[in-house]
Amino acid sequence: MAEDLHEIVARALMLDRSAITDDLKYNSIPEWDSVAHMALIAELEAAYDVMLDTDDIVAMSSVGTIREILKKYDVEA
Amino acid sequence: MSRPDLLAGRVALVTGASRGIGAAIAKGLVEAGATVWLAARTEGALDATLVTLNALGAGEARALYFDVADPAAIKQAFGTIQKADRRLDVLVNNAGILKASMIEMASVEMMDETYQVNLRSVLVASQYAARLMARNGGGSIINLTSIMGAQGFAGQAVYAASKAGVIGVTKSLAKEFAARQIRVNAIAPGAIDTALIEGLSEEKRQETVASIGMGRLGTPEDVAGLSVFLASDAARYITGQVIGVDGGMMV
């Protein structure tokens, strides 16, 4: 069973799990800036054992889009 | 001087590892106990080297064949490392080409090829390396630049441009990656006795040696020593530096 996406996002952005929803957007809060985005990408790649394309990293603009993009890598997050 | 415990448990990738400086760096890292992925373009070019390195009784040598000018191939190579080891601690961006030409005779194709192999490959490989390194708390990226990158050289404008670019990448990424404990440094070899120098006439060769304070050409092993140091924890607080290995050519 793959780790819960909200759990991973919370850990990478150093936020409480209750603060994470699928609607949460990149750059909408100070905790999710471009530097934190790189930490999040590293966490996602490690947790789901994937290597993301640069285009997909740029396209991951919300928790919901991350979930959608991960499906391309056969990950049901 | 070999320290098989220095890099034990570490995983490294060295591009352009089939000969010259790249081969010597790979050997140095294996001697220090690392698992080293040697990368080359031509299938089979690493066969003999692998046998030699794996007989050292220190680290482990493995082969990866891909063209650093092809970004998709770089990604695939990092995918292989990720699947096999789940980590990367050291990346040595060594692969490079040198095509001498007076600028009036330099073709646009040659300019593009030099940029793709010598500079763009460093940018692309660093993208993937940083993510793999960040997972395990950091790493060391070592870029091979050249004395020509900072000093220039007649007939080498294209090569020098690519190597000056490598210095810019090194300093920028050192700043960008510092918080993730990924160090980025560059090595600037002077005149090293490799295939790149073989083309010189005897007269030019003697002229070059005369310009070196220590009175001899450098060897690939002279460069490998610094690479092992930069890869190791002995260099843990060193980042963003361009270090010359030139026997006193530039002081």
Q: Which domains does chain A have, with CATH numbers?
A: 5-71 (1.10.1200.10)
**Residue B204 pLDDT level (bands cut at 50, 70, 90):** confident
Q: Chain A partners of B128 at a C-beta cutoff of 8 Å? A: 51
Interface of A with B in 8-67 (CB under 8 A): 35, 38-39, 41-42, 45-46, 49, 51, 53-54
Do B16 and B118 form a contact (C-beta atoms < 8 A)? no
Rg (CA), chain A: 11
Q: Do B131 and A39 touch (CB under 8 A)?
A: no
Q: Do A42 and B128 touch (CB under 8 A)?
A: no
Reduced to 3 states (helix: H, G, I; strand: E, B; else coil), residue B62 is strand
Sheet holding B60-65, edge to edge: B60-65, B35-40, B11-14, B90-93, B139-144, B182-189, B242-245
**Residue B192 pLDDT level (bands cut at 50, 70, 90):** very high
Given CB atoms, is B9 within the 8 Å cutoff of chain A? no
Tell me what pLDDT residue A56 has: 96
**Residue B2 pLDDT level (bands cut at 50, 70, 90):** low
Q: Answer yes or no: is pLDDT of B198 > 80.
A: no
Given CB atoms, is B45 within the 8 Å cutoff of chain A? no
- Distance (Å) from the C-alpha of residue A45 to the closest C-alpha of chain B? 8
Cα distance between residue B230 and residue B251, in whole Å: 21
Take residue B25 and report the two structure tokens written for it: 């760096």
Residues of B with catalytic roles: 159
Q: Do A38 and B75 touch (CB under 8 A)?
A: no
Nearest CA in chain A to B132: A42
Q: Answer yes or no: is pLDDT of A1 > 70.
A: no
Q: Do A51 and B75 touch (CB under 8 A)?
A: yes
Given CB atoms, is B136 within the 8 Å cutoff of chain A? no
Tokens 């001899």 appear where? B216
Which CATH architecture is the domain B11-245 placed in? Answer: 3-Layer(aba) Sandwich (3.40)
Bridge partners of residue B39, in order along the sequence: B64
Q: Chain A partners of B75 at a C-beta cutoff of 8 Å? A: 51, 53
Q: Answer yes or no: is pLDDT of B211 > 80.
A: yes
Do B85 and B91 form a contact (C-beta atoms < 8 A)? no
Query: Is the ipTM reported for this complex over the cut 0.85?
Result: no
Q: Answer yes or no: is pLDDT of B199 > 80.
A: no
Nearest to B128 among A46, A49, A51 (CB): A51
Task: Tell me how long chain A is.
Answer: 77
For residue range B98-156, what is the model confidence (pLDDT) as tens digits? Answer: 988 899 999 999 999 999 999 999 999 999 999 999 988 999 999 999 999 999 989 99
For residue range B214-241, what is the model confidence (pLDDT) as tens digits? Answer: 999 999 999 999 999 999 999 999 999 9
Bridge partners of residue B13, in order along the sequence: B37, B91
Cα distance between residue B139 and residue B130, in whole Å: 8
Chain-wide mean pLDDT for chain B?
A: 95
Tokens 């993208």 appear where? B127
